Amino acid sequence: MSTSSSSAIAPNKEYTLMLGDKPLIVRTGMLGNQANATVLCQMGDTVAMGNLTLSAKARDGVDFLPLQVVFQEKFYAGGKIAGSRFRKREGRPSDDFVLMGRVVDRGLRPMIQKSIRNDIQVFCTVLSYDFENEYDVAAANAASLAAALSDCPCDGPIASVRVGLIGGELVLNPTREAMLKSDLDMFLTASLDRVVMIEAGANQVPEAEVLRAIEFGKKWAQKIAKFFSEIQKEIGKPKRVFDEPFEHKDAYAFLKSWALPTITKAIKSDMAKLERRAVFNKLMEEAGEKLTAEIENGTWNVEDEEKEKLVGYGSAMVDKIVKNEMRRLVLEEGVRMSSRTVDQIRPIGCMVDVLPNRVHGSALFQRGETQGLTTCTLGGPGCKQLSEGMEGESELRYMHHYNFPPFSVGETSNRLMVGNREIGHGNLAQRALEAVLPKEEDFPYTVRTVTEILESNGSSSMAATCGSTLALMAAGVPISAPVAGIALGLISDEAKDTYVILSDLQDEEDFGGDMDFKVGGTEKGVTAIQMDIKIKGLPDHVFAEALERSRVGRASILKTMLASIKEPRKELSPFAPRIETIQVNPEDIRLVIGKGGETIQKITKELGVEIDIEDSGLVFVTSVNGEAMEKAKEWILGIVAKPEVGKIYDCTVVRIIAGVGAIVEFLRGKDGMIHISELQWKRTEQVEDVLKVGQQVQAKCIEFDAMEGKTRLSLKQMTERPADMPPEFRGPPRSGGHGGGRPGGFRR
């Protein structure tokens, strides 16, 4: 970064850490000093800024940590002026940047004091991108150090790295180009002693290799975290002090003795989710009345100003009792919701062809009270999703979209648009399937799967993963292996160093537990991981057990899935479009497109087909109508075909040149000349005596000049020379050059 002599600009403090042979540089002090903390992180020429701002006052009416992470893409960072002709300003973050924001959030959230009700806003802004060093790693580390240097109570510091697996070797922060060859893309965040967050996509990587990657990433992330810790000790701000959550131990003990028998019975009972929730809600509603009665009876010495506060916390205390009892039963008795064992998976049901095959493929996946309906739709190459940003333009061939309507949990809501959670869950299922999709050259379709969550009691993203596999196979997409997904939970007692992993996580265990560890994969290995935790990291042995439990769980789920459909169907739905490919000379692409797109638009409009052309000359014709498909292929082949001497062609007369001949159109737009001497065996004085504009005739190609692209055709050579023809007409036909006005020439 350049320096300035201006005294108005605050100086930077700069720190450097070598990661192998690459420097990680962080700076603070010069920019954004009205935020609680601002940090720039630089890797190569990639620079990202992280800012944390903590509001002065608490937000009213919230019972959660109000943390918001905003990840901003700036077109200028990549040297681009992107956008439409009418709008050049960056708009709403793309899905990719929403996902990056979620990754940063999932690392920071467990480290921040849970009782804070002040708004915390973290901005991650990409300022410069060198197309080699990835900006998400730089931005996450800038945000992490900003949190450490700010006055926001936040344990740590934490730091992030990316781990690749290339040719069997683990690679730290691989370049963008190197990632194209990697079988693993793991983003890992760790504190000084434990892993805090993992997000990964993989090409069926065995669990043992995943564990090796986690250990490798943890080592490097901890090196960065230690580096950040030293900076924090030197220049970090004192942390603000916030009150701990309201507690009244006697009132809590009273409510526990009153509600616990009912709570324990409800947890152990095999009742429906909403029925159990109704039991808990009734206790929460009655808690205030119970506390009021005890206060009025003088059970506790409570000041008047504290009475309302205590009564108001009755519901929250009952909720805490429910969560604590759920945790106790798991840790002490090995019993969980509905009296399941810790490794027990809820009953699974699978069904394909739930909808008519007009949707191309459909499947229903149900696990307990979580139900997902997934559809698969096939389209041509032109249906790919296009995006534009600081990296330029990109295409997405496979999309999975996840919808979570409020009725799926028996609620109403006015929040009906897709939110960050839906984007995140959809991407996880998409990532889990990408590794098994057929190559585009083998299956040139654009594929979209959509999961509608119709009921939810936990693990809905994994239901979407399983449902996508079934829908893809039902649609006839030749995936290389079926993928299943399972969510694992964790109940821990860190004081006793006790950790219990739960297979097939459900809602109450998610809300009151310590981890949501989702793993998608095939029989061969892992294809996607997403780990969120609520505690400040996990010991290493938990990962080994969780991955092994996920492997066993996936195998069990796959067995049930494959009972409904064993393999991808060999035939597509009759309502799915068909795609035919035609290879043309790249130089002929312009002929198929036509001037200003005139030719290709005419074909698609007249025949109702879709046509996509690659620079290599590969033409894709997509249509649900077989007859239209064949006509389109014939049309295109005609456009690019080269005239063959001796071959007879259907021609249309388009122009008469007096005394010279006729210009005809053949082979879908090619021009040829029928010279006056080639009209008939006897001498012809007027072309119009034989041909008229618009007339359909057949003519034989007698000459083709590939260099000039000019063709001569003949009508008379379609027949034998008459035997009684006068001698003066038995000479060779007249010929000449192709210049306009000369015998044999033509010009349009």
Rounded Cα gap, residues 194 and 522, in angstroms: 28
- pLDDT of 727 reads 57
Rounded Cα gap, residues 435 and 438, in angstroms: 9
- pLDDT of 747 reads 33
Rounded Cα gap, residues 425 and 461, in angstroms: 5
Q: Is 96 a domain residue? A: yes
- Count of other CB atoms within 10 angstroms of residue 305: 7
Rounded Cα gap, residues 296 and 293, in angstroms: 5
Residues linked to residue 19 through DSSP beta bridges, in sequence order: 22
- Among the candidates 339, 356, 387, a domain finishes at 339
Coil, strand or helix at 484: strand
The CATH number assigned to the domain holding 218 equals: 3.30.230.70
* Confidence class for position 6, pLDDT limits 50, 70, 90: low
Q: Is 741 a domain residue? A: no
Lowest mean pLDDT among 94-108, 466-480, 673-687, 717-731: 717-731
Contact 422, 403 (CB under 8 A): yes
Closest alpha carbon to 30 in 46, 62, 6: 6
Between 332 and 591, the more confident residue is 332
The CATH number assigned to the domain holding 635 equals: 3.30.1370.10
Could you report the per-residue pLDDT of 65-87, keeping only the tens digit for each?
999 999 999 999 999 998 888 88
- pLDDT of 728 reads 52
Contact 10, 30 (CB under 8 A): yes
532 and 600 fall within a common domain: no
Rounded Cα gap, residues 262 and 657, in angstroms: 101
In this predicted structure, the answer to whether residue 736 has a pLDDT above a threshold of 90 is no
312 and 213 fall within a common domain: no
CA atoms within 13 A on the CB side of 577: 24
- pLDDT of 3 reads 54
DSSP state, residue 574: T
412 and 456 fall within a common domain: yes
The per-type count for the chain, helices as H runs and strands as E runs, is: 15, 29
Average pLDDT over residues 319-333: 96
Q: Is 546 a domain residue? A: yes
The CATH number assigned to the domain holding 713 equals: 2.40.50.140
Q: Is 674 a domain residue? A: yes
329 and 360 fall within a common domain: no
Rounded Cα gap, residues 155 and 148, in angstroms: 8
Between 159 and 244, the more confident residue is 159
Give me 60's structure tokens.
């009213």
Give me 345's structure tokens.
């998976």
DSSP state, residue 112: B
Could you report the per-residue pLDDT of 361-420, keeping only the tens digit for each?
999 999 999 999 999 999 999 999 998 888 888 899 999 999 999 999 999 998 888 999
93 and 160 fall within a common domain: yes
Residues linked to residue 704 through DSSP beta bridges, in sequence order: 711
- pLDDT of 5 reads 58
Closest alpha carbon to 531 in 511, 513, 516, 510: 516
Could you report the per-residue pLDDT of 274-298, keeping only the tens digit for each?
999 999 999 999 999 999 999 888 8
Q: What length is written for the chain?
A: 748
pTM of the model: 0.87
Q: Residue 663 belongs to what domain range?
A: 648-729
Average pLDDT over residues 185-208: 97
- pLDDT of 306 reads 81
* Confidence class for position 2, pLDDT limits 50, 70, 90: low
136 and 271 fall within a common domain: no
Question: Average per-residue pLDDT in the chain?
Answer: 92
In this predicted structure, the answer to whether residue 119 has a pLDDT above a threshold of 60 is yes
Q: At residue 340, what are phi and psi to the nearest 5 degrees?
A: -70, 150
157 and 216 fall within a common domain: yes
Could you report the per-residue pLDDT of 345-360, keeping only the tens digit for each?
999 999 999 999 999 9
Between 138 and 305, the more confident residue is 138
- pLDDT of 746 reads 32
Percent of residues, the chain, with pLDDT higher than 90: 80
- Among the candidates 640, 669, 686, a domain finishes at 640
Contacts of 517 (CB under 8 A, 6+ apart): 487, 488, 489, 490, 529, 530, 531, 532, 546, 550
* H/E segment holding residue 601: helix 598-607
Rounded Cα gap, residues 105 and 119, in angstroms: 14
Rounded Cα gap, residues 70 and 101, in angstroms: 6
- pLDDT of 667 reads 87
Q: Is 4 a domain residue? A: no
Q: Is 108 exposed, middle or buried (0-12, 13-18, 19+ CB in 10 A)?
A: buried
Distances (CA, A) of 204 to 57, 182, 432, 654: 48, 12, 9, 61
Rounded Cα gap, residues 26 and 227, in angstroms: 10
626 and 660 fall within a common domain: no
* Confidence class for position 734, pLDDT limits 50, 70, 90: very low
Q: Is 743 a domain residue? A: no
Closest alpha carbon to 104 in 132, 137, 151, 152: 137
Q: Is 502 a domain residue? A: yes
Q: Is 127 a domain residue? A: yes
Domain count, the chain: 5
Contact 604, 596 (CB under 8 A): no
157 and 282 fall within a common domain: no
R_g (Cα) of the chain, nearest Å: 35
Could you report the per-residue pLDDT of 228-287, keeping only the tens digit for each?
999 999 999 999 999 888 889 999 999 999 999 999 999 999 999 999 999 999 999 999
490 and 522 fall within a common domain: yes
Rounded Cα gap, residues 228 and 103, in angstroms: 19
Rounded Cα gap, residues 92 and 658, in angstroms: 65
Could you report the per-residue pLDDT of 510-520, keeping only the tens digit for each?
999 999 999 99
Residues linked to residue 103 through DSSP beta bridges, in sequence order: none
In this predicted structure, the answer to whether residue 732 has a pLDDT above a threshold of 50 is no
122 and 169 fall within a common domain: yes
Contact 184, 503 (CB under 8 A): no
Contact 652, 687 (CB under 8 A): no
Q: At residue 468, what are phi and psi to the nearest 5 degrees?
A: -65, -40
299 and 231 fall within a common domain: no
